Amino acid sequence: MTADEQTAAPQDPAKRITFFDTTLRDGEQAPGITLNTREKVEIAHQLARLGVDVIEAGFPISSPGDFEGVRAVAAEVPGVIVAGLARANPRDVTTAGEAVRDAERPRIHTFIATSDIHLTYKLKMSREQVLTAATEAVRLARSIVDDVEFSCEDATRSEPAFVAEVVGAAIAEGAGTINIPDTVGYTTPTEFQGFLLELYDRCPELRGVVLSVHCHDDLGLAVANSLAGVQVGARQVEGCINGIGERAGNASLEELAMILRTRADALGGLWSGLTTTEITRTSRMVSRMTGYVVQPNKAIVGRNAFAHEAGIHQHGVLSNPLTYEIMDYASVGLAQSEIVLGKHSGRHALRNALVEMGYELDRDELDQAFARFKDLADRKGRISAADLEAIVGDEMRVEGAADGLALDELHFAGGTGGTPHARVVVREADGSRREAEADGDGPVDALMKAIDRAAGTEGTLLEYAVSAVTGGKDALGEARVVCEIDGRRFAGQGVSTDVLEASATAYVRAVNASRHAEHGERVATGGV
């Protein structure tokens, strides 16, 4: 039976797997990722089109920007459950409740660590204190919203008897979802199954709520461990698009989705409500807005996932795709028609193309995108879907910099045997302009030094990458920088047909991120 035939067959509601997406929370905690409110909302809309059941929109207490991002997603994205994360203390819980208040289906997700190593060195709390904190947090959360999820941070390195005790108390106070996270990616599939089965034995009440699993990929086992969890009764899996997240990342939701779709026969009919044809579009949007490039050989969404170079493979695929492809590339959204616009295309054509790609812009946003589109069309002639994704994504980043520094002018001189020299003019939010120039070891170094002098900052470039959005010598260039400014890491991205302009814009946005951090410091919060 093919995956499509399995999908068409009657599906047992008891075997439905809920997908909990934490791209906007755990994913954003990856080094160098900073999403503004508009980017979070746009990604959340696409996650809703993908069909995820729960969107964890952020950690509201961590910063004013994160609070506003969660609030905006809750207010603007209908249909899905919108969750805010909170540590097990009253201030976190009430702040999360306020942030998700306007959601159609609000959830508070509260957590506390249960492993002895976390209790001793991080929390400095006794087991009795942890039990009390968990109980009171769930009770408070349940008084604010009907839907409460509770997590035991670092559960897989905790004593099962204590986890069972804390989980039982959380259920008694009204938690409808219990999450057992492998916070540091330490467990193995067989070991994880044994742990969950022991929890069921020690805490029979667990069978009356939704068991969730949240696995990290430190040993490359996040997807395998998540799959092991659902095989013994978990009915919610948590993860991120493209597997992004802290350290080595989280379970990749698109991999889990396609495992359920492709191997339903081997998994006893487990299924999800995801629209898998939206996977590729979602992956590309998240990659572009976070700046985290998808590795070419990444399962499901890597550019080589359906590519065949070996002659014997090509021959087999041409004869019958099933010889080397276990999935139809159309099932993940790779068969979408290519959108091509030109300099004579009008505003209506642009709007229709953007709607087809999943973007819905208001009049002012469409005006800005149209102006950028016309400028690019004059330079390139033909604009592809990838070009549109890049310029719309770039325009969304302007929101985060609207009250910060902007690049007005850029001049560069250099060449073989000469010293690279850059001159820039930057504009502050109040309209004042400052000019500076500098020499450097190379053009990017000179640009960064000139921007630092104009902005009054001092940054160190840690990572720098430029990639072509499309093929051809007129391709848009997308630059990404990760810098250290005032002892902290910040990232920035820029898009232009001029890679030096893209690089300068990327660095200016990193400077703006550092400035915002000074005024809205993100608290160190940890997480499940």
Q: How many domains does the chain have?
A: 4
Span 208-258, pLDDT tens digits: 999 999 999 999 999 999 999 999 999 999 999 999 999 999 999 999 999
Same domain for 319 and 205: no
Same domain for 370 and 239: no
| Domain assignment of residue 526, yes or no | no
Across the chain, mean pLDDT equals 88
Quote the longest CA-to-CA distance of the chain.
Answer: 76
Domain that holds residue 484: 403-519
Say which residues have a Cβ less than 8 Å from residue 378's Cβ, sequence separation at least 6: 343
SS (HEC) of 374-399: HHHHHHHCEEEHHHHHHHHHHHHHHH
Span 322-355, pLDDT tens digits: 554 567 778 887 765 456 787 778 888 888 888 8
Note the pLDDT of residue 302: 86
% of the chain residues with pLDDT over 90? 59
| Domain assignment of residue 432, yes or no | yes
Note the pLDDT of residue 70: 98
Note the pLDDT of residue 320: 57
Same domain for 95 and 61: yes
Interatomic CA distance for residues 85 and 71, integer angstroms: 12
| Domain assignment of residue 275, yes or no | yes
Cβ atoms < 10 Å from Cβ of 344: 7
| Domain assignment of residue 500, yes or no | yes
| Domain assignment of residue 298, yes or no | no
Whichever domain contains 105, its CATH number is 3.20.20.70
Span 439-469, pLDDT tens digits: 999 999 999 999 999 999 999 999 898 888 7
What secondary structure does DSSP assign to 110-124, as a single string?
EEEE-SHHHIIIII-
In the predicted structure, residue 311 carries a pLDDT above the cut 80:
no
**Are the C-beta atoms of 372 and 295 separated by less than 8 Å?**
no
pTM for this predicted structure: 0.84
In the predicted structure, residue 29 carries a pLDDT above the cut 80:
yes
Span 167-199, pLDDT tens digits: 999 999 999 999 999 999 999 999 999 999 999
Q: Which of 148, 127, 128 has its CA nearest to residue 138?
A: 148
Note the pLDDT of residue 347: 84
Interatomic CA distance for residues 177 and 150, integer angstroms: 6
